[in-house]
Structure 1
Amino acid sequence: MDHTKIKETLKNLRAALTDELKGHNFYIKAAEIAKSDGVNEAAEFFRNAAKVEKGHANEVEEILKKLR
């Protein structure tokens, strides 16, 4: 694959990966705070959101591997 032709897509995928991992980390911390505050419903929401973000990160990583 000619990486010069897909340079912008690679840049966007790397940015997406960074954002998904930041989101994952944010939601993990938010879940811990909600749990310590005793707001279990919010903690569960944040844990689920973290899983979704991690799933997105994994998908982006797989695409990047295929493009290398």
Structure 2
Amino acid sequence: MTGGSDQDRELARQVRLVAIVLVTTMVVWMGLQWLGGQMGWEARYVFLFDLAALAAFVWSLVVTYRIWRRRQEK
């Protein structure tokens, strides 16, 4: 296997980070939604989890767009 350039390794690291953030966000968000329903939490607390998940998804989208742009420049 040939070693890629430093830029390729950095892009691969960022792709892995985005994947980890997406999967972790989905699992934690779904778990908190379920837990909130089981424990009868108020909607305002559950809404905070929704906003946090939305922030993580927006961050992932921005980083993915930046990765895509860097690959286009190459």
> What band does the TM-score fall into relative to the shorter chain?
0.7 to 0.9
Report the Cα distance in structure 2 between the residues aligned to 1:53 and 1:21, rounded to whole angstroms: 7
Gaps of 5+ in 2: none
- CA deviation map 1:12-59 (0-9, x unaligned): 211111122013202430342113432124312211111011011101
What 5-or-longer segments of structure 1 have no aligned partner? none
Q: Which runs of 4+ in 1 moved over 6 A?
A: none
CA RMSD in angstroms, aligned pairs only: 2.0
How many residues align? The count is 66
Bigger Rg over Cα:
2
Higher relative contact order (CA 8 A, sep 6+): 2
Aligned to 2:68: 65
What one-letter code is carried by the residue in structure 1 that aligns with 2:67?
L
**Identity level (%):** 12
Taking structure 1 as the reference length, what is the TM-score of the superposition?
Answer: 0.74
Q: TM-score, with normalisation over the residues of structure 2?
A: 0.70
